[in-house]
Chain A
Amino acid sequence: AQSVAQPEDQVNVAEGNPLTVKCTYSVSGNPYLFWYVQYPNRGLQFLLKYITGDNLVKGSYGFEAEFNKSQTSFHLKKPSALVSDSALYFCAVRASGNYGGSQGNLIFGKGTKLSVKP
Chain B
Amino acid sequence: ETGVTQTPRHLVMGMTNKKSLKCEQHLGHNAMYWYKQSAKKPLELMFVYSLEERVENNSVPSRFSPECPNSSHLFLHLHTLQPEDSALYLCASSQEIQYSNQPQHFGDGTRLSIL
Give B25-62 interface residues, CB cut-off 8 Å to A.
Answer: 40-43, 45, 48, 50, 55-56
Return the contact of A46 from the options B6, B41, B101, B105 (Cβ within 8 A). Answer: B105
Q: Which of A32, A36, A42, A101 contacts B101 (CB 8 A)?
A: A32
- Contact of B100 with A104 in the complex, beta carbons under 8 Å: yes
- Interface size (A, Cβ < 8 Å)? 28
A-B contact count (CB 8 A): 65
- A10 in the interface, Cβ–Cβ < 8 Å? no
A106 CB within 8 Å of chain B: yes
Q: How many angstroms between the C-alpha atoms of A12 and B4 in the bound complex?
A: 31
- The answer on a CB contact under 8 Å between B100 and A43 is no
**A43 engages B42 (CB within 8 Å):** no
Q: What does the 1/0 interface line of B81-104 toward A look like (CB < 8 Å)?
A: 000000000101000011111011
The reply to whether B43 and A90 form a contact with Cβ atoms under 8 Å apart is yes
CA distance A46 to B43 in the complex (A): 15
A104-B98 in contact (CB<8A) = yes
Q: Which of B14-22, B66-74, B106-114 contacts A (4 or more CB under 8 A)?
A: B106-114
Contact between chains at A99 and B101 (CB < 8 Å): no
Query: What residues make up the interface of A, taking CB atoms closer than 8 Å to B?
Result: 32, 34, 36, 41-46, 49, 51, 90, 94-102, 104-106, 108-111
Instruction: Give B contacts to A, CB under 8 Å.
Output: 2, 4, 6, 40-43, 45, 48, 50, 55-56, 90, 92, 97-101, 103-109, 111
